[in-house]
Amino acid sequence: MDIAQALVLGVVEGITEFLPVSSTGHLTIAERLLGLRVDDPGVTAFTAIIQVGAIAAVLIYFRTDIVRLVRAWVSGLLHPTARRDPDYRLAWFVIAGSVPIGIVGFAARDLVSGRLRSLGVVAVALIAWSAVMYLAERRGSQQRSERDVRLSDVLVIGLVQCVALVPGVSRSGATISAALFRGLDRVTATRLSFFLSIPALTAAGAYEAAGSASDISASVGWTPTLVATLVSLVVAYASIAGLLRLVARHPITIFIGYRVLLGVVLLVLLGTGVL
């Protein structure tokens, strides 16, 4: 991989990671268009590792909230009276909601990095999950805020997050939709999606960096990987701010037209042999 390709993929990751359009799906498409082998172990590892840049953007953007939650969690562990703090409870909820993706992601790692890394899968998932997003906006009451989040909410959201292991579904699209179905308002749903992304994507990136270092060195190279990760951090930071403003004013269904159109175009290109 050359630096120009790394720059393009870093921008794609930064823009799409937190939008409900599937970053993995877009990276798979971009990698194919750039002439890279999406089934190459090094490319698969690269795709996971550069997501760490986007997570770094979340840590920076939400640093005040994260420090508050960590402090409340530690205080609650040390002092029983501090466990009445809603932030202590929310911190545990984020941990609990991250468990399902950790278990399922590890168990299905070969499937996720193998047969599911297909443009056909991406196309179908883009279209199919759009219907779920539509129903979530139509049926969700959005009457509950962050202070009303329950353990059952984050467990459901965490389980649905596992569906996003399928490229094209979108991790943010899955978690926000699940939160809306649970009656949470759109801003709370989006913030929870950001918080739940931290353990999931950090673990995935660290696992690939540790276990696929030789694959990265052999087929992609660490310099392009680090460049793409840094670019994704910068672009993702801007994307976070934009998405929060967007969801405060508009439903997530505004992304459905793009998702369906992209899915249909992919199916046509695959069906005609262009891709």
> What is the C-alpha separation between 34 and 223, in angstroms, rounded?
18
Which of 176, 153, 155, 154 minimizes the C-alpha distance to 164? 176
Name the 3-class secondary structure at 101: helix
Helix ranges, the chain (H): 3-16, 23-33, 41-49, 51-61, 63-78, 86-107, 109-113, 119-139, 151-161, 171-181, 186-211, 213-215, 222-249, 256-271
pLDDT of residue 114: 67
- Indicate the pLDDT class of residue 152, thresholds 50, 70 and 90: very high
> What is the C-alpha separation between 49 and 72, in angstroms, rounded?
30
Q: Give the relative orientation of helices 63-78 and 186-211 as an angle to the nearest 10 degrees.
A: 80
Average pLDDT over residues 78-106: 88
Which residues partner with 184 through β-bridges? 144
pLDDT tens track for 186-222: 889 988 888 888 887 777 777 777 777 787 888 888 9
